[in-house]
């Protein structure tokens, strides 16, 4: 066996061209798979880096009628779940996000989360300095991250007992949590939330919850318990809870759910690339084995066991596979770096992606699997070779023409069909992405500077004052050269804030039990928000400076909401109420155009716009939008300075509307680009496969071509022969690839936007492309065939 | 005297391989009249096949001139040479050189397909020439299903099908046993009697004597011409 390896290595070294071609092809396939798998492993499979991570779950609401789960709960439901808890060792609510934290004379946007002391128990986290706040603490306490402590106080221990201000309240830092712990999203500050949740209704999904299962309680067990609670609440509160229950989801699944499908899709794509690479190497091995067929035949005739020959091929394959695997791992390292660099910013756990031991094991496993795959064909070929036939070689006397080469053709057909599947997948993603970039959004994205602004406020008075502080800024911002108009909203399209819920139209429905209420997105805006954003006012009016807290409440609705609740009527003047804060009736004063809110992929949905000034509890954290006449990012500095001069306590963070929209489609962009690269690679490999096949075929047919030319065939005639043969092989590949694509691209349906999985344009474009690629690959062998010298080709040996 | 079909003046052929010059033909003068049957013999390597390749426009002389059927053959484009080969010349090779994937009919039809002949005309010409060689009952057979003699008869039929001006045969019996060899020779003689112009390379003096004229070559030159008494 060891000797066989040495022979194999020697053989590979002798055939350095073959070895390099095969090893590089394999390395590409294995490297890509390893890189994608490492992302998959780090994001989806590796345990979360928490103590007893498998027991950490998220509790959310499941809507039975819509078969949909959201990772949020209402205050009322959560309170009952905590009260009835029998399955969780610890459970904690958490709410928050990036808000302004004031430190001395500075204000910075910081991931700030309100949690219960149980939160730390869920994660089994211990402070590196100070202590964790507990249920008995009466003072306002906060934990901060090690990074936050070092940045602001120099060290972890120096931060303990220092003060930070959040929403005008002074918190004392009681402890510092270790570096690397940043849950929930980007958390740097954790402060104690009140025991009693603020909003105890059962219709506003404002709270998230994490919990740790008691030892011995399975996730299914906890789920069953949650359903029991759900059923009880459903009968106790049918109006709100009739159609809902609660869902226990592994925290890991909950964090990574959104990227899951994309990663599986990418893994599928690179698997196809690897299969194509294996096919290519199989054909290279067949080509290499061909001159040795005689040698093998002679040896077989002399009594060598077939199994020995097969073993020799298998060992060569294995050696080659491991060589390719080693190179592939090197490539994978580079690939991982690139993947992480270009991954969407919201890729969860990106920092946990690296060449870990499981990933290396995966690389070795697929190397071995590949060896098996590409050694199979030549080994089978060698094992079944007819000794007699091989010894005769050249077949029947007096006859020219190629061996049929059907085995190699079959391998190339496989390559072609696999690359068609990939190319059609990539084509569909591209068309879908293109549609995303072209979708009418309902607002303009260019020349809009966005400033996330957080003015600390606590209680109604401070909130009302914050509204004034923010709007007092507008004239100063508008005075900055390049700023055309200024307004603000809570709930910008593609932004991180938003709320939704049910509403009731006066005279049609009420918040009374048993009512099936319509849904809408809730957004708050200042006057001139619609104008600044280019959202069209279709009827009625925009909000006015006079729509303030102590004046009658008003609202503006989107066209979709008008269709949903006021078909055939004029909505202006009608009244409605919603569960955002108070159930005050609001009079509809205007109707505006529909907007694709979450991303260009979302369908325009009913939206209910309310004046910021009439909903002060949401008004101190807004997104200020500035229409500019110049490149908006150029105004970030002047705007930041103006704000700092006037309101040092206001935390600000800048972006542009263009960047926000671009970020909202980062995941589709990422997978589209990757799919494009993979499909391109697959095409190149298929191309080299076709080239190899056609060179072989042309070489086989050299004397036939010589004969045909002697008989008067023109060069074009000979060229056509090769191209026709290419077209034949390609046609079979296309037929198989089409059939497979029709069956398989359906899995893409759920991530396609504005294009059907059976999009004819994509199919046709791919088919034309593959035909062109195939003919281009065959062009050189075909050209070479026309250079055959008939005299030489026909010379008798 | 009937007109000249082939006229070679001072034809030389030099092969240069790896800096070695091989003078395969060194000044060949040859005239073949229309309807003449010339056999070419000589030791192996003396240049017979090279001469035939030049006559068949498969190769070009390094020096000298070649006139075929009144037209100068030098300076023709590759496509013109292919066209002339197709229309004026019928090749018969030692290794019968049929295409394995094509049946007898298709093999014979092959040269005709390169001149854009209609399929009815092709069929007529193919069947006529297969009848001449006595193979018309085997049109559907593949070469591998035929004996060597039958294959060569099919090859002759292919050479005839296009009604060429000249038949060029390079050791057409070289791969055949004597019985089959004689049958092919009889076939060529019959064709000659019906007016075909033939240049045939052969080692075998028995077959050489069927020709009107035998040319002996040695080391790239014609060293002797003997004219057979017309029987
Ligand atoms: N393509 C070629 N390149 C180099 N030498 C050649 C080539 N073709 C023929 N020759 C040489 O030219 C001489 C004549 O060859 P050929 O015409 O085949 O001889 P014959 O057919 O009489 O046996 C030989 O010495 C042969 O080696
Ligand atoms: Mg010869």
Residue B4 located in a structural domain:
no
Answer whether residue B178 is part of any domain: yes
Contact B79 A715 (CB under 8 A): yes
CA A737 to mean position of chain CA atoms = 26
Q: Give residue A636's Cα distance to chain centre.
A: 29
The angle at the Cα of A402, spanning B127 to A788, to the nearest 5 degrees, equals 90
What is the percent of chain B where pLDDT is above 90?
62
- And the tokens for A49? 């880096």
Which residues from A are below 8 Å from B82, CB to CB? 709, 712-715
A 10 A CB-CB count for B193 gives: 10
Residue B176 lies in a domain: yes
Identify which has the larger pLDDT, B201 or A294.
Answer: B201
Question: Does B203 map to a domain?
Answer: yes
CA B55/CA B58 separation, integer angstroms: 8
Pocket test for ligand 1, best of B11, B15, B18 (most atoms within 8 A of CB): B15
Q: Which of B49, B57, B97 to mutate to test the interface with A (most CBs of A within 10 A)?
A: B97
The CA-atom distances, in angstroms, between A238 and each of A172, A203, A243 are 43, 12, 8
**What is the SS3 assignment for A628?**
strand
> Is B82's CB within 8 Å of A713's CB?
yes
Choose one of B12, B19, B22 to mutate for the ligand 1 pocket test, by most ligand atoms within 8 angstroms of C-beta.
Answer: B22
- Phi and psi at residue A442, to the nearest 5°: 90, 0
Q: Which atom of ligand 1 is closest in space to residue B47's alpha carbon?
A: 17
User: Going by DSSP bridges, is the β-strand pair A448-454/A651-656 parallel, antiparallel, or unpaired?
Assistant: antiparallel
Chain A neighbors of B152, CB-CB under 8 A: 398
- Protein residue closest via CA to atom 20 of ligand 1: B45
- Quote the Cα angle for A274-A279-A285, to 5°: 125
B62 in a structural domain: no
**CA B28 to ligand 1 centroid distance, Å:** 15
Q: How far is CA A205 from CA A242, A472, A522, A770, in A?
A: 15, 32, 13, 51
Q: Does B96 reside within a domain?
A: yes
Predicted pLDDT of residue A797: 46
Q: Is residue B155 part of a domain?
A: yes
With a 6 Å cutoff on the Cβ, whether B17 touches ligand 1 is: yes
What residue has token string 């263009």? A658
Question: Can you state the angle between helices A16-40 and A306-342, rounded to 10 degrees?
Answer: 50
| Pairing outcome for strands A244-250 and A586-592 | unpaired
pLDDT at B1: 47
* Residues A464-471: contacts with CB under 8 Å, at least 24 apart: A464/A549, A464/A616, A466/A616, A466/A619, A466/A620, A467/A549, A467/A612, A467/A613, A467/A616, A467/A619, A467/A620, A469/A647, A469/A650, A470/A619, A470/A620, A470/A622, A470/A624, A470/A650, A471/A526, A471/A613
Residue B58 Cα, gap to closest chain A Cα (Å): 6
- What's residue A104's pLDDT? 82
pLDDT at A386 (0 to 100): 62
Q: Which domain holds residue B101?
A: 34-57+77-227
What pLDDT is attached to residue A393?
Answer: 45
Report, as ranges of residue numbers, the positions in chain A whose pLDDT lies below 70: 1, 293-297, 299, 303-304, 385-399, 401-404, 513-514, 796-797
Cβ neighbours of residue B190 closer than 8 Å, sequence gap 6 or more: B132
Maximum distance among all Cα pairs of chain B, rounded to whole angstroms: 52
Q: Whole-angstrom Cα distance, residue A344 to residue A666?
A: 5
Name the CA radius of gyration of chain B, rounded: 17
Measured between alpha carbons, how far is A538 from A508 in angstroms, rounded to an integer?
24
Judged on CB neighbours under 10 Å (0-12, 13-18, 19+), A93 is buried
C-beta separation of B132 from B183 below 8 A:
no
Which of B97, B162, B175 is facing A794, going by the closest CB pair? B97
B179 domain-assigned: yes
Instruction: Provide the shortest C-alpha distance from residue A713 to chain B (in Å).
Output: 6
Largest CA distance in chain A: 108
Tell whether the torsion through CA atoms of A366, A372, A376 and A382 is positive or negative: positive
DSSP SS3 for B165: coil
Among A378-382, A404-408, B173-177, B214-218, which range has the highest average pLDDT? B214-218
Residue ID of nearest Cα to ligand 1 atom 21: B49
Name the minimum distance, in Å, from the CA of A3 to any CA of chain B. Answer: 41
**A41 DSSP assignment:** I
- B44 within ligand 1 shell (Cβ under 6 A): yes
Which ligand approaches the C-alpha of residue B47 most closely? 1
Q: Residues 715 to 734 of A: which have CB under 8 A from any B CB?
A: 715, 717
- Domain count for chain B, please give it: 1
How many residues comprise chain B? Answer: 231
DSSP element (H, E) containing B218: strand B213-218
Query: How far apart are the C-alpha atoms of A137 and A194, rounded to whole Å?
Result: 11
CA distance A712 to A690: 28
Q: Calculate the alpha carbon distances from A309 to A204, A284, A381, A383 in Å.
A: 72, 18, 11, 8
Contact between A209 and A93 under an 8 Å Cβ cutoff? The reply is yes
Q: Which domain CATH number covers B127?
A: 3.40.50.300
**Phi, psi of A92, deg, nearest 5:** -140, 140
Retrieve residue A62's tokens.
Answer: 């499941």
What was the pLDDT predicted at A358? 95
């Amino acid at each position: 066996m060891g000797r066989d390896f040495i022979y194999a290595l020697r053989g590979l070294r002798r055939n350095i061209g073959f070895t390099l071609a095969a090893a590089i092809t394999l390395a590409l396939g294995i490297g890509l798979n390893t890189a994608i798998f490492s992302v998959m492993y780090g994001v989806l499979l590796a345990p979360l880096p928490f103590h007893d991570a498998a027991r950490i779950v998220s509790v959310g609401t499941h809507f039975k009628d819509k078969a949909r789960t959201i990772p949020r709960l209402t205050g009322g439901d959560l309170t009952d779940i905590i009260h009835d808890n029998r399955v969780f060792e610890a459970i904690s609510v958490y709410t928050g996000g990036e808000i302004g934290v004031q430190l001395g004379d500075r204000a910075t946007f910081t991931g700030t989360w309100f949690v219960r002391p149980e939160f730390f128990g869920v994660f089994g986290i211990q402070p590196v300095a100070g202590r964790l706040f507990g249920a008995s603490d009466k003072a306002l306490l906060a934990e901060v991250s090690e990074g936050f402590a070092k940045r602001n106080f120099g060290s972890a221990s120096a931060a303990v007992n220092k003060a930070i201000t959040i929403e005008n309240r002074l918190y004392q830092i009681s402890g510092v949590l270790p570096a690397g712990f940043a849950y929930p999203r980007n958390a740097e500050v954790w402060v104690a939330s009140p025991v009693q949740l603020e909003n105890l209704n059962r219709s506003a999904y404002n709270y998230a919850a994490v919990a740790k299962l008691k030892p011995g309680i399975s996730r299914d067990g906890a789920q069953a318990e949650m359903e029991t609670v759900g059923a009880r609440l459903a009968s106790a509160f049918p109006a709100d809870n009739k159609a809902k229950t609660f869902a226990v989801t592994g925290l890991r699944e909950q964090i990574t759910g959104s990227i899951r499908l994309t990663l599986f899709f990418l893994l599928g794509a690179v698997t196809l690339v690897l299969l194509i690479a294996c096919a290519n190497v199989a054909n290279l091995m067949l080509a290499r084995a061909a001159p040795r067929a005689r040698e093998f035949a002679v040896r077989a005739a002399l009594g060598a066991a077939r199994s020995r020959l097969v073993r020799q091929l298998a060992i060569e394959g294995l050696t080659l596979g491991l060589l390719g695997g080693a190179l592939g791992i090197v490539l994978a390292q580079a690939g991982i770096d690139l993947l992480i660099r270009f991954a969407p910013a919201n890729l969860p756990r990106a920092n946990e992606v690296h060449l870990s031991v499981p990933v290396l094991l995966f690389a070795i496993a697929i190397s071995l699997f590949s060896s098996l795959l590409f050694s199979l064909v030549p080994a089978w070929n060698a094992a079944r070779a007819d000794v007699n036939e091989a010894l005769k070689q050249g077949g029947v006397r007096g006859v020219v023409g190629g061996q049929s080469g059907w085995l190699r053709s079959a391998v190339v057909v496989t390559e072609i069909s696999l690359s068609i599947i990939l190319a059609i997948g990539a084509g569909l993603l591209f068309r879908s992405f293109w549609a995303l970039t072209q979708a009418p959004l309902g607002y303009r994205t260019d020349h809009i500077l966005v400033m996330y602004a957080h003015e600390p406020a606590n209680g109604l008075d401070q909130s009302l004052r914050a509204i004034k502080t923010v709007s007092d800024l507008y004239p100063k911002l508008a005075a900055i050269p390049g700023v055309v108009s200024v307004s603000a909203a809570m709930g910008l399209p593609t932004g991180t804030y938003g709320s939704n819920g049910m509403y009731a139209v006066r005279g049609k429905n009420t918040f009374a039990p048993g009512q099936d209420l319509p849904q809408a997105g809730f957004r708050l805006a200042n006057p001139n928000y619609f104008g600044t954003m280019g959202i069209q006012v279709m009827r009625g009016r925009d909000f006015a400076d006079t729509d303030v807290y102590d004046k009658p409440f008003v609202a503006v609705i989107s066209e979709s909401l008008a269709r949903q609740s006021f078909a055939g009527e004029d909505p202006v003047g009608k009244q409605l109420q919603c569960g955002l804060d108070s159930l005050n009736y609001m009079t509809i004063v205007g109707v505006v155009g529909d907007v694709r809110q979450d991303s260009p992929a979302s369908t325009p949905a009913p939206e209910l716009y309310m004046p910021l000034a009439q909903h002060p509890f949401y008004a101190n954290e807004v997104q200020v939008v500035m229409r500019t006449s110049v490149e908006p990012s150029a105004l970030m500095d002047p705007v930041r300075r103006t704000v700092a001069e006037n309101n040092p306590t206001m935390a600000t963070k800048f972006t542009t509307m263009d960047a926000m929209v671009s970020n909202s489609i980062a995941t589709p962009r990422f997978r589209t680009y990757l799919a494009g690269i993979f499909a391109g690679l697959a095409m190149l490999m298929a191309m080299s496969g076709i080239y190899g096949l056609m060179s072989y075929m042309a070489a086989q047919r050299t004397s036939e071509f010589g004969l045909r030319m002697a008989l008067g065939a023109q060069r074009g005639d000979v060229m056509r022969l090769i191209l026709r043969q290419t077209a034949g092989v390609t046609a079979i590949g296309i037929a198989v690839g089409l059939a497979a694509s029709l069956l398989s691209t359906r899995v893409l349906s759920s991530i396609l936007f504005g294009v059907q999985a059976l999009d004819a344009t994509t199919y046709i474009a791919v088919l034309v492309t593959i035909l062109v690629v195939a003919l281009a690959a065959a062009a050189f062998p075909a050209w070479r065939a026309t250079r055959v010298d008939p005299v030489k080709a026909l010379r008798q040996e | 005297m009937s007109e000249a079909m082939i006229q070679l003046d001072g034809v030389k052929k030099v092969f240069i391989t790896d800096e070695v010059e091989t003078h395969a033909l060194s000044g060949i003068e040859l005239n073949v009249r229309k309807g003449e049957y010339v056999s070419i013999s000589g030791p192996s390597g003396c240049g017979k096949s090279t001469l035939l390749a030049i006559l068949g426009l498969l190769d070009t002389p390094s020096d000298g001139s070649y006139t075929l059927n009144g037209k100068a053959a030098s300076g023709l484009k590759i496509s013109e040479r292919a066209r002339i080969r197709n229309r004026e010349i019928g090749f018969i090779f030692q290794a019968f050189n049929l295409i394995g994937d094509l049946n007898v009919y298709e093999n014979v039809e092959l040269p005709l397909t390169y001149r854009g002949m209609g399929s009815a005309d092709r069929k007529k010409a193919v069947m006529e020439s297969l009848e001449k060689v006595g193979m018309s009952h085997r049109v559907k057979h593949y070469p591998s299903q035929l004996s060597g003699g039958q294959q060569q008869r099919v090859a002759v039929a292919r050479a005839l099908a296009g009604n060429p001006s000249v038949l060029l045969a390079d050791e057409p019996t070289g791969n055949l046993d004597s019985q089959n060899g004689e049958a092919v020779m009889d076939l060529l003689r019959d064709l000659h009697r019906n007016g075909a112009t033939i240049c045939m390379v052969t080692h075998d003096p028995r077959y050489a004597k069927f020709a009107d004229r035998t040319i002996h070559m040695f080391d790239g030159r014609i060293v002797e011409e003997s004219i057979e008494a017309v029987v």
